[in-house]
Chains A and B, each alone.
Chain A
Amino acid sequence: MKHFLGFVVAIFLSLTIFYLYRDDGTGHLSDSMTLKVYGSSSFIGSWGPGPILKDLFEKQTGIKVTYLEMADPALVIQKISLEGKQASGDVILSLDQYDISRLVDKIKWKSIDSKVELKISNQLAGISKLDKFKPYDWAPIAFITRVDNSVQIDSLDDLLKPELKGKIALEDPRTSSPGLNFLSWVFKVKSAIDAEKFLKDLIGQLHSVSPSWSAAYGLFKNKQVDLVLSYATSPIYHIVEEKDTSYKSLEFKEGHPSQVEFAAVPESCLNCEAGIKFVQFLQSPEAQKIIMEKNYMFPIERNVQEGTPFDSVKLFKLLPFQIDNKEAIQKWLSVWAELRKNDG
């Protein structure tokens, strides 16, 4: 019994010491030498570009970077809008064009000048004009399959082939960026009525609709499905990291939409100057190279990919990049939700 009481006392002493001394440097007042960056787990995780970028940035500027994992940009923005001036977070990464469309009005953002002249693909020409959201990587959305898959698939309509029934993993557009990109893809290449019909038929074809890219890709890698919606650059990961050449991305004749990732600095930032520096840093050649090699997405700065495996990736025909208006996005999602409403 004495030992147990001793244990309890030890717990309380630890808690007291913890209370008094455990301070991770997140003081109430902003410190110009620290920076808080929100990012997705794939970016800030140990396998992502985040840690290397952090070290490089800290070395170059002397500003300490703290990453905060975010499940979803919308949640972070909602949190910032609720917390207002007390909000923590100087930079938000992993924003895509849909986040920008839907969330740009929720809070105010800082304007950022690009420090470098970017050499960008023509189809993405529009993105460099955004002064508050700075792109740092991109990739075409495409279906990935195994090279031994004999079914001929070169258009969206081919997804409805009977031999593919129950063999396609798709992401939910409501919770996943690639999923939403797919939805917009369908509505851009088809008329509204055809798009709705196509989606209805496709839903019957699917193996599953996963909440996230990783869940869907997991099914694909586990050979539960033959096709998964992902990025055209996904096979490069397998070639480089796993020395596995058994995956390929499928080119569709309609053309492919692009997923672009942006970084931005909210107006409520505590260390705005450092935040802007960090965003500008992401577009520097060194950072672009790291992002490309770790994220397995194309760099915004084209020159960076020359002489790398990314250069050998076939350039798919791309649909013109645009920031869709949020009413259109909402309408597509409503159609999707209605089609899925009674599907379980």
Chain B
Amino acid sequence: MMAKIIQLGLIIFFILPFAALIYYFHGQLTFDLSEIVSALINSVVQGFWVSLIAVVFGFFCSFYILSLSSQPRKLLQKICIIPSVLPSLFTILIAFTIIQPFPMGNVGVIIVLAFIYSGYILSLFSQAIADDVRAFLPIGLVYGLNRAQFYRVILIKHGRYLVFLALIVFISTLTAFTVPMIVSGGHSRNLEILIYEKMFTEFKWSAALGIGLIQQLVIGFSILQLSKHHSSRAQAIGITTETLSLKKYSSVVYGLAVLAYLFSYLGSYIYLLIRAVQSPFIHQVFNTELYTAISSSFFFFLTNTSVFFVIFICLLYLLWHLKSIVFLNFFTYMSTMLVAACLFFWGESDYVFLNYLKLSYIFNVLFFVSLYKLSLENKLQDITNQKMLSKIYNISFSHFLFKILFPQLQNQFYYLLTYLSIMSLSEFAIIKISGSSIRTLGSVMASYLSSYRIEGAFVVSCIMIGLWLISTAVYHLILSGGKFGFNKKS
């Protein structure tokens, strides 16, 4: 009974913003099909090309990554994730710096988003195939398989996962906002931009709601279908794989592609940062507003983490009682515009704590499922048998959580906290759309950018990254009990 209530509660948690908007607009939904079709075509074109480029890059360059020894491999796998974790505004500025003149429109959007997601696919896919590559390598070498044959063997086993990743990127592109907003140059708007325009330029909220619901239904059901046909067995980040000697099936070209990718991103960022630091106004950045934003970001992180863990424990309760949580997949990708807009109408409270809590609620509606999938889902699947065993031996739910499950999730909690930190520090979209008065470092950075104070934006981004790195070190210390290095097999 309790499990059913929690299941219902979770569904309400995620659909409440939409329900609130529908209620607020008295159920009025309007649709302009020609606009929707035009935006959908742009979304599909952008999504297709971004996922194709990212998958091709990720597939081939995985073999280069896996040909490296353990330490450089793990380091590269982590660095490659950075463009997808850091705010997309960075990538836009970097792209503008590298490519001049920059092609605005669909091409520009595809370039920037492919840049963001290629490293993401590379990191995940290389980890997923590591064990099989290692297992098949002796066979390939002994029987003289050429590169194409070896790749085919890997694709037969992992092709579905690759398609799954491609579809995730496709859907992420569909719901992208910042990049199309800035880089499309006013052309090539996608569905998310269309929603934004309906809401904030034309004030046609019912039209925005109509588009948003269509988008959500299409994406939600697609993800649900995807999740039925795929069991995400890719290893979570941080799990060790042994060194592979894969030079025969790798290539210098792949290596150059990876290095070009990383160097262009990090190199450009450092270049822009140095330019920013040399600006004569840079001392103006260090003011009360910045320090307030730092503390606000910290509190925002606390409330985000708290809400996340409450939902997570509810989820664990459902899993404990063998209830299906497949329904969560429907909420993997939500429209930031609409969900945050709910908060706009909700309004600000006089109590600061409540305002943080409201923001954190919206944050978790938008990001809980993807954070869960990214950092926790695989490990939880791996220890399903332990859960069954615990039930067989009458171990209580709380005992299972604190004595069995949580001690094995050190690595996963570490990565979760690092994601939560950077997302809390850099969050600005929800705050801007909802009209909240809370200012994070991301809000400050966005303000600098909106006034074309690029130097200020870069310095704030550097502070953001610095704080993030410090916080990751702190989590590491806390979770490892004051020692460096986690339990390797957790």
Write the residues of chain A forming the contact surface with B, with a CB cutoff of 8 angstroms. 1-8, 11-12, 14-15, 18-19, 22-24, 26-28, 41-42, 45-48, 51, 68-72, 74-76, 78-79, 82-83, 86, 88, 172, 174-175, 206-215, 217-219, 221-225, 241, 340-344
Contacts and interface: CB of A to CB of B under 8 A. Distances in A.
Contacts of A69: 437, 439, 443, 447
Given A241-B281, A344-B42, A27 B302 contact: no
Residue among B186, B306, B345, B413 facing the most chain A CB atoms (10 A cut-off): B186
A26 B350 contact: yes
A75 B435 contact: yes
Given A74-B203, A218-B454, A174 B284 contact: no
B407 interface: yes
A234 to B, nearest CB: 10
B289 interface: yes
A235 to B, nearest CB: 14
Interface residues of B, number: 70
Contacts of B452: 213-214, 217-218, 221
A47 B479 contact: no
Given A8-B309, A14-B302, 17 more contacts: A41-B446, A46-B285, A47-B284, A51-B287, A71-B200, A71-B432, A82-B345, A208-B104, A208-B105, A218-B96, A222-B97, A223-B101, A224-B102, A241-B281, A342-B38, A344-B106, A344-B184
A343 B432 contact: no
Interface in B295-332: 299, 302-303, 305-306, 309
The B interface is mostly helix, strand or loop, or mixed, namely helix
Closest 5 CB pairs of A and B: A208-B185, A209-B186, A344-B187, A41-B447, A344-B188
A209 B105 CA distance: 10
Nearest to A344: B187
A223 B100 contact: yes
Nearest to B35: A341
A46 B289 contact: yes
B482 interface: yes
A71 B294 CA distance: 21
Contacts of B181: 211
Given A46-B284, A71-B435, A4 B449 contact: no
Contact of B352 (A5, A26, A48): A26
A11 B302 contact: yes
Contact of B453 (A45, A51, A79, A88): A45
Contacts of A224: 96, 100-102, 104
Contact of A344 (B100, B105, B348): B105
B297 to A, nearest CB: 13
Contacts, number: 161
B302 A18 contact: yes
Contacts of B353: 15, 18-19, 22
Nearest to B348: A88
B450 interface: yes
Contacts of B347: 79, 82-83, 86
Contacts of A212: 450
Contacts of B186: 172, 206, 208-211, 340, 343-344
Contacts of A208: 104-105, 184-187
Nearest to B344: A79
Given A4-B406, A45-B448, A83-B347, A207 B104 contact: yes
A224 B185 CA distance: 12
B201 interface: yes
Interface string B66-90: 0000000000000000000000000
B203 A41 contact: no
A5 B402 contact: yes
B144 interface: no
Contacts of A28: 350
25 contacts: A3-B482, A4-B479, A7-B478, A12-B306, A15-B353, A18-B353, A23-B352, A26-B350, A41-B450, A45-B289, A45-B451, A46-B287, A46-B290, A69-B443, A72-B200, A88-B348, A174-B201, A208-B185, A208-B186, A210-B186, A214-B451, A221-B452, A222-B102, A225-B101, A343-B186
Interface in B155-195: 181-182, 184-189
Contacts of A8: 309
Contacts of B479: 3-4, 7
Contacts of A223: 100-101
Contacts of A4: 406, 410, 413, 478-479
B352 A24 contact: yes
B189 A3 contact: no
Nearest to A45: B447
A222 B350 CA distance: 42
Interface in B258-312: 280-281, 284-285, 287, 289-290, 299, 302-303, 305-306, 309
A343 B200 CA distance: 20
B197 interface: yes
A222 B202 contact: no
A174 B197 contact: yes
Contacts of A222: 96-97, 100, 102
A291 B355 CA distance: 32
Contacts of B287: 46, 51
B392 to A, nearest CB: 23
A180 to B, nearest CB: 11
B388 to A, nearest CB: 22
A104 to B, nearest CB: 16
A72 B184 CA distance: 21
A342 B305 CA distance: 44
A1 B105 contact: no
B21 to A, nearest CB: 13
B220 interface: no
Given A22-B353, A47-B451, A1 B435 contact: no
B98 to A, nearest CB: 11
A23 B285 CA distance: 25
